[in-house]
A = this chain, B = another copy of it.
Amino acid sequence: MAVYTQVSNSALAAFLADYELGIPLSFKGIAEGVENSNYFLETDRGKFILTLFEKRVRKEDLPFFIGLKQHLADRDFPCPRPIPGRDGVALRTLEGRPAVIVSFLPGLSLKTPRLDHCHALGAALARLHAEASDFAMTRPNQLGPDSWPDLWSGRTKDAEALQPGLARLIEDDIQETRRLTQVSQDLPHGIIHADLFPDNAFFLEGGFAGVIDFYFACSDVLAYDLAICLNAWAFGSDGQFDPAKGQALIAGYETVRKLMPQERHLLPALARGAALRFFLTRLIDWSETPADALVKPHDPLDYAKRLAFHRTTRSASDYGA
């Protein structure tokens, strides 16, 4: 949550000269997104977010992310709409970095979503899947099951430092979920958000208002996206699963698209895999962030607790489906 690249006034003026956005009235770095630098930009034509892509985002992925937002916005799915320059091109360069301006999406993200928020989010996720189903581009999931053994490699000590005995449990999780790519081959695939945490969903007066941060979006199993949301939305701050929230999320999803029997059958494995994926990347961030850094990484133990729950589930009904 920081601004990594400073934008000089002259660079901003030169950059905006290629748009039809009018005169800048305000320009402030915002503490949103870990990977990129984001600025709130207001002009006499409206409010926008200017994003500069930092090193951790692969340049070759940007047309996919920007194209997806454009596609969804064209379908009236509430998400930031990329604003093209006068030449029709949205992905441009500012201060030596790839940069894009998107429309400002009103709404507030919720630290502690209620049941009705979970229900609305489930429906929004299914709608996102439906609207993106005819998006022409694809992008492999770089953090899918095939990547998990690599992410785990060499992390035994870090896991043990967090909680003695954890490494062996993670080894089991890796074993149990490593066949997920194969067994889920017959499940409905499509574009997934892959990072739809409460941070990335906006609400207004209780109602769903939109989705931001598509920088993990990729082509993968649709039900895996629901499994990610179960992990992100249906656990309390104590790490305990809240069956009512799980039920609300799945019921909301099914107001738009019914899960197939095979998706329900694999939900425990997908949920365990999703928890493993976030545990592993958080373990890496945790271990590689200096203790005194200003930006505190997420505690991987939150996801160790979720994994402990997923190891006990047997069917989709354990998640409220």
Which A residues are within 8 Å of any B CB, using their own CB? 1-3, 6, 8-10, 12, 23-32, 40, 42, 104, 106-112, 204-205, 290, 292-295
Contacts and interface: CB of A to CB of B under 8 A. Distances in A.
Contacts of A110: 9
List the 7 closest A-B pairs by CB distance, nearest first. A29-B31, A8-B111, A3-B31, A25-B106, A9-B110, A294-B294, A27-B108
A104 B112 CA distance: 27
Contact of A31 (B2, B106, B107): B2
**Number of chain copies forming the complex:** 2
Nearest to A49: B28
A314 to B, nearest CB: 34
A107 B27 CA distance: 8
Contacts of A23: 204-205
Contacts of A204: 23, 25
Contacts of A111: 6, 8-10
A229 to B, nearest CB: 18
Nearest to A11: B111
A111 to B, nearest CB: 4
Most chain-B Cβ atoms within 10 A of its Cβ — which of A1, A110, A294? A294
Given A23-B205, A290-B290, A292-B293, A29 B1 contact: yes
